[in-house]
Structure 1
Amino acid sequence: MSSVVLGLAFVLLTTILHQHSSCASGVTSDFFSIDRDLSIDNRALLRETDAPSLVECAAECGSHACCLTALFKPETETTGSCSLHSTRKLNVETYFESSSVLMYKESSDALASYQWECTEGYIKGNNILPGISPVSLSECKEFCLRTEKCFSLDYDIDLSNCFASEVTKDIVPGDFEAGYARSNYCELKCFP
């Protein structure tokens, strides 16, 4: 029975969210891409709450400025858990979990509350993703946004080299070399 309810909620959510319309009050619905039977870890968890439906969980994510991914897990026929995450779709590591629904915010303004925060320094030994050069810092930031598993970047000012990284300075604080003036470390942060 719960799979029938989940299936109906999935169809309803898909219909509602694909309309992507504005109402008179100026509130725009967010567009989500949806994957069934997938889950993610809580590495970038913003908040976990109860939600009566998949649609309510999507609404929770849509109303949270920093939410980029939401996970709905039905627990009974009338409620489920809804977890909101700040992880971009390209950075999500998924695993199979029956009956759960993973939603990614895909609207053009999904990153509106996010800004690049840069500081002098770099993460030593963690630039394992492909890099590009020579590029500007702006091009390096765009490269990171398009690169799977890019959580931060190191930009070599002298050589205009861009290095994408799968970690942030918070994940590996012992590997961060602060105050290195020839390199900029940048990561995307939410400022609601």
Structure 2
Amino acid sequence: MTTLERDAALARSLYHLATGTLSWLDDHVTGDRDEPDVDADALARMRRSVDWLLARLPADERARIEAGAADAASLPAVAGIFVDVQWWVGACDEDEIDLHVAVKTQESAVSHLLGLPDDQRDRFIELLDELAAAEPHAGRRYELLVFAFECGLVDDEDEPQHEEPDQREWVRPEDR
């Protein structure tokens, strides 16, 4: 597999996982208890943020991504969207996403990442570092830097040595 083919496959996989996460959360909006497991308004806000990010891409790139045909050029944007979705899930209050649903969501994402072929997993880790280096927002930069460590993609000795922000609240891309 060429580098471009590997990056395209990784982009498609990450986009499918990000959108699949949101779709899976849709199934929990009604919940099986008196209260829903996922707040519909919170989920709608996250979807709007993903749409906002996609709207900033060139039209042809956005169309390829939305059609499930992300290519190597789409990889940075798709990886950023994936991390944003996971950051949001992890940062939500329990009234937005029930804790057991948030944990299952994150465990599923980690399982998927750990199941990637070594070259794709290594490329994703490399890309997280590239995205962090270019990220002007301190909170998101931190999330990008620690993502691979927190998911178990890198060893403990590779833990990033960066100061944790006072609060690790998710910040909508529109606001950063």
> Would you call these one fold, judging by a TM-score over 0.5?
no
Greater RCO structure (CA 8 Å; 6+ sep): 2
Larger Rg: 1
TM-score (norm 2): 0.32
Pick the structure with more helix per residue: 2
TM-score (norm 1): 0.30
Pick the structure with more strand per residue: 1
